[in-house]
Structure 1
Amino acid sequence: MTDVRPASTAASHVPGRRLRAGIVVLLAGTVLFGLGQVVHGPEVSPADLDAFVTAMTTQRLAFAHTLLAVAVMLLAVGTASLYALLSSSRAERVALGAFLSTLTGAALVVFGLGAATLAYPDVAAAHVDAPAIIGAVLDGSTRALAVVFAGAALLAIGGVLVAISVWRSDRMARSRGVPYALTVPLVLATETAPTWVKYLVAVIVTSATAWLAVASWRLVPGREPA
């Protein structure tokens, strides 16, 4: 099936420039998401405490967390545009679920990343000055990271729901959303991978989102579908 179906009636009530801006924001969010993973580098296990503490106290990690926090917020905004484009179709409820799941997941990721980043200096100080309590301090950081992974799981569910909504909507080719559904699981699966793998993953997830974004752009009212 080709991308030739008209945009939904509901989307026609949203200015085209806002819908296009949302699509661009979705793509930008994915780019930053991949870049944040590259900057973060391979995950260091707490089993190697010295390496773990060193990794946690670098400016690079704080910058990576900032990129990731901004990225997931942009993904939530971009998914809102997808919902607007797919509303009033057979997939309206699924598209709404995709938006709500992505929004909730983004909020959890931002909260968890912030809490973990704020806890890292305490972990470093305890490692040097009070090693007897390092376990308790690390426990707080671990709980914050658990919130991050819970949010990431919701982002992954949101991606799957996006793919289902595209598949059911008949607004664009069904396969357009499938690669997008694999982006977050792919990133999570390569958490401990070498940096070069993370570069490759960043290219893959950006390409997957771009493929969906191009089809979504063509649905914006006022543009002739290609």
Structure 2
Amino acid sequence: MLRKFGIAFLIATALSGCDQNVTATIYVRDLQDLLSQPTNGKTVPVTMELEVLAPGLRDKCDKPEIQQMVSVVASYFDSATLVGCEQVKGAMYDTLRIKSGTMMEIQATGANGFDSKQLIKFAVTRPDNGVATLFVVFNKSAYDELNERIRAINMMAHLKTDEAHITVVLDNDTREPFKWASGSGNWYDGRPQAIVRQETLAPRGSTAMKLGDVNMAVLTIDQNFALAAFPSPPTE
């Protein structure tokens, strides 16, 4: 059974110093199982945790305003439930935590064929040359609508993609080395990388890929970005 990907998605407010972070863990075994499916269109559920930051949220956690925010978020994902409200130590804002669900989809087409109803999802292409590519897909229209609807509920809470960073942890939970190609302009395990490199991930090893600022800008403009490439296993 495919393991759900755990993702923490932080939505910043207009408050200075608020940094958004999207963190996902992707397991090699799950990725290989998904790619081995005989047909395209197969999806994998992805669990996300959103944190909306704004002053005074903790005191409103049981109020209709908070449930309204959760309902708005749910309309841009497969599901959304309230986790809780917390005060951020040393800051003048609180955190509203919302767990939501999206997907990762297998596709035959390239980046131009992506279509996402969710605010954010993952997609894997399976071209004829046998090399698969993992993309993150961003829905700009959904972002604009969600931002406007959240601010209509609480004017101090909104999304800012120009302050976001996406980190994907690739975890090799198999007994074999995993060959893959990393991209340029990203951070890998805290180190910047300016060129594309062929990598081998050791069994039970992992690596953290953090998109650089330019690549984040490409994602928000093009609404998709290639995270990594790797050999596609034969279909069953």
TM-score (norm 1): 0.29
Where is the strand percentage greater, Structure 1 or Structure 2?
2
TM-score (norm 2): 0.28
Larger radius of gyration: 1
Where is the helix percentage greater, Structure 1 or Structure 2?
1
